[in-house]
Structure 1
Amino acid sequence: MAAPLPLSDKQLRSVRESFTSRISIWHGSVRSGKTIASLLAFLLSIRRAPATGLILLCGRSLQTIERNIIEPLQDLALFGSDVAAEVRHTRGATVASILGRTVHLIGASDARAEGRLRGATACLAYVDEATLVPEAFFVQLLARLSVPGARLLCTTNPDSPRHWLRTGYLNRAGELDLAAWHFRLADNPSLSPAYVAALSAEYTGLWRRRMIDGAWVVAEGAIFDMYDEAAHVVDELPAMRRHWLGVDYGTTNPFSAVLLGLGDDDRLYAVAEWRYDSRARHRQMTDAQYSAAVRKWLGELGVEPEWTFVDPSAASYSAQLWADGHPGVARADNTVLDGIRSVSNVLDAGLLRIHRSCEGLLDELPGYAWSEEAAARGEDQPVKANDHSVDALRYAVHSTSHEWRHLLSLAA
């Protein structure tokens, strides 16, 4: 079986050393070469695996396993035609055939996934992005690797320094039968300097330290610490060639709609904001009233957004918009940390400007902070207070990231 080329000395060493430990963990920055090394070790491990016991591929979901593991194994440029021909999988199926062995694919999105391992006896397991699977699942998986010579291989990007994978395993490598290798972007010999520069530009703050530097660092302080009113707030707007709307729905909490525009100058702009605080007004509004008010506001602006990204929990409001003929209603991508990262990226790169009329948004941005209580538990969570316009902005920015990501390197 041919190895993927080129491989660094560190990658090759990690593959060799992985066979000396029960648990092997490759961790570090994105695109640092850790996944290719771990997959090569996995293929070699399948060849050497005991004849008895299951072989398991685990990850956050079946889709991520297919994208992060199965597809690379079938890539001719990575592992050659001989390996690709022996990796057979039907998309959506929970089994695959790899090098003649049946491999079971297990998604572990929540604590209930631990039950899928009950009763299993395994000889080899691979976990993709181990920090994203529940701790109970990981513990149960180790217990199921009971065949003599059974081994566990894992990859992950860094997380909080208090994450259970770091405190319970990486920090105890000397006590456990565990080997670990930390990879940085510079450890991948196949990346061009231009690509490294472009990738580095896509991350900022906390995520730059984790995803580029490969550091296990805690979230602390202001989330948008790069926000500078003097640099990011504008009084004039250029002509806009595209518009999108983000809506954070509220009844007792404030309702906020933030209009995001793409200007002729290839920058994003928070163009305008409509906000209603029922507590301050002493009167709640119905879905129909909110729909009418937002459509009236957009009409006054002379704007029809291409898409309106609505808080996913506000199903009744989305249904009302559809019933009222509002075009392009969609569920917002409400992945909180990824959304925060997208907003951080555009602010840090100077790609996003905010019009001074967006008063609610401008009030919330400086105080949007990481929760100290969550950080103490090893979790990254924002404080859930005074975040309604920020959430509306996050919905619009993150849900359209495929539209503007190429502009990051152009912003100044």
Structure 2
Amino acid sequence: MLRDLELPMSRAQIASIVESQDAPIALWSGAVSSGKTIASLIAFLLRLVAAPDHGLIVIVGRTLQTIERNLIDPLQSTYLFGPLAKHVHHTTGSTTATILGRTVHLIGASDARAEGRIRGSTIALAYVDEATLVPYSFWMMLLSRLRVGDQSRLLATTNPDGPFHWLRKEFILRSPQVGLTHWHFTLDDNPSLDPGMVTRLKAQYTGLWYRRFILGDWCLAAGAIYEMFDSERHIVKALPPIERWLCDAIDYGTVNPYADLLIGLGRDPETQRSRLYVVSEYRHDSRRERRQMTDSEYSRARRAWLARVPQPQTNIVGVAPEWTIVDPSAASYIEQLHRDGVSGVTAADNTVLDGIRTVSSLLATGDLAIHESAAGLVDELPSYSWDSGAAERGEDKPIKENDHSCDALRYGLRTTESLWRPYLPPRLEVAA
């Protein structure tokens, strides 16, 4: 099978492929794009050929969509897998695939309820993508389902997480006792990467994400979340013409502050590259103002604010953003906006770490700028910090204080990413 592949392979990749065949549990961890996914998929195909006829074969990921993007798409790539790719058949949205003639079940495991999908099954071969994102209860259930004697195998990949994560504490640090073989990969272990790609990858991750995704460290989430934020670099006094008014993004509060950010796409005056801009901000702090506002009052205040926002370098006043992104917990306010005829209202994507990582990447690459008038956001960004108590429990969480505009920012950028991403240089987060 390896002879059919023209992709260059490092010694670390080849060694892991060979050694994994006899390992009950095989785990590849390390930097993004370090070659661990390709090596693990080749190992999976080899095990698939040798897998017994009885027992299920499963691929597990956070969602079906991530399985398709991270695993099925690469397996169907003739560039990566040559003639083997034509033996991988899958219909988008289907929970099964046919790989090398074998039926493979695709299982999304985004929460603890997912364990019910494999309860009672007998599994001969399992592959887990991004194992640190799989619930602990699902992982333990999966291990208990590997019931085809010494022929059962579990293969998994992951980027590092915190040092107290259960995967590190209970499995990596206890490798001999639990039958786990572990390989740590760095960018140098992927011979197919050109130097320019490595440089761009390193530029896209800073702080916590750089240590985990570039250096491959299992490290604590500690200190400032946006430590790459630089007021000289990211705050602007003047705005270019806005070519696309993407959204206003709302973190809803009654007792806590209400924050609404207006986000658009323009071109950096110096580089002429597309750049995201926080153009304006509306905030109401009921404690400071000593007055709480109702849903209808917030809706009117929002309309009045947008109506007086000047469009940069034009004589036009007033903006109608394409989308209004709202804190998903604010169901009554979403309903009020619908009643008031606001178009494009949608609940925000509130996956916290993904949102923080998106904002971090944009700040690191300089693809996000903030107008100085967005005073609430400018005040919050430097002090937005990781919760050290949660980190010691193995969780990455921000401190829930003075975070309202920061929450609105990640709501807006994460939820509209499919709209603005094509305008910016590609983000190299391929799991190769």
Tell me the TM-score normalized by structure 1: 0.92
Partner of 2:115: 114
Contact 1:309 1:330 in 2 (8 A): yes
Contact 2:204 2:364 in 1 (8 A): no
1:330 alignment partner, SS class: strand
Does 2:104 align with 1:88?
no
Partner of 2:315: none
Does 2:228 align with 1:220?
no
Partner of 1:31: 33
Partner of 1:291: 299
Partner of 1:268: 276
Map residues 167-316 of structure 1 onto 2, 5 A cutoff: 167-243=169-245, 244-265=247-268, 266-301=274-309, 302-316=318-332
Instruction: Give 1:194 shift.
Output: 1.6
1:10 alignment partner, SS class: helix
Contact 2:122 2:148 in 1 (8 A): yes
Distance 1:221 1:408, change over 3 A: farther
Stretches of structure 2 lacking an aligned partner (at least 5 in a row): 269-273, 310-317, 427-432
Contact 1:55 1:102 in 2 (8 A): yes
Does 2:339 align with 1:323?
yes
Q: Give, in whole Å, the separation in 2 of the partners of 1:267 and 1:93.
A: 37
Instruction: Give 1:143 shift.
Output: 1.3
Deviations 1:193-237 (A, max 9, x none): 122222222211111121122221111011112223344334333
Q: Give, in whole Å, the separation in 2 of the partners of 1:230 and 1:191.
A: 33
Partner of 1:139: 140
Partner of 1:368: 384
Contact 2:203 2:364 in 1 (8 A): no
Contact 1:57 1:105 in 2 (8 A): yes
| Alignment-mate amino acid for residue 409 of structure 2 | L
Contact 1:96 1:105 in 2 (8 A): yes
Give the paired residue count.
409
Q: Give, in whole Å, the separation in 1 of the partners of 2:421 and 2:152.
A: 46
Q: Give, in whole Å, the separation in 1 of the partners of 2:236 and 2:382.
A: 16
Deviations 1:338-395 (A, max 9, x none): 2112222233333333333222222222221100111011111001111111111222
Q: Give, in whole Å, the separation in 1 of the partners of 2:157 and 2:6.
A: 18
Deviations 1:262-284 (A, max 9, x none): 34424433222111122333333
Q: Give, in whole Å, the separation in 1 of the partners of 2:297 and 2:141.
A: 51
| Alignment-mate amino acid for residue 124 of structure 1 | L
2:253 alignment partner, SS class: coil
Partner of 1:99: 100
2:177 alignment partner, SS class: coil
Deviations 1:4-36 (A, max 9, x none): 522222111111000121110011111111111
Partner of 2:55: 53
Distance 1:408 1:369, change over 3 A: farther
Identical aligned pairs, as a percentage?
Answer: 58
Distance 1:99 1:373, change over 3 A: same
Does 2:385 align with 1:358?
no
1:38 alignment partner, SS class: helix
Does 2:86 align with 1:78?
no
Does 2:363 align with 1:347?
yes
Instruction: Give 1:408 shift.
Output: 6.1
| Alignment-mate amino acid for residue 227 of structure 2 | D
Contact 1:226 1:348 in 2 (8 A): yes
Q: Give, in whole Å, the separation in 1 of the partners of 2:224 and 2:364.
A: 14
Instruction: Give 1:112 shift.
Output: 1.5
Q: Give, in whole Å, the separation in 2 of the partners of 1:406 and 1:210.
A: 27
Distance 1:78 1:167, change over 3 A: same
Instruction: Give 1:322 shift.
Output: 3.1
Contact 2:30 2:213 in 1 (8 A): yes
Contact 1:349 1:408 in 2 (8 A): no
- Give me the CA root mean square deviation: 2.1
Deviations 1:83-137 (A, max 9, x none): 3333233332222222222222221111111222221112111111111101111
Instruction: Give 1:188 shift.
Output: 1.0
Contact 1:23 1:178 in 2 (8 A): yes
Partner of 1:393: 409
Q: Give, in whole Å, the separation in 1 of the partners of 2:234 and 2:81.
A: 46
Stretches of structure 1 lacking an aligned partner (at least 5 in a row): none
Contact 1:201 1:408 in 2 (8 A): no
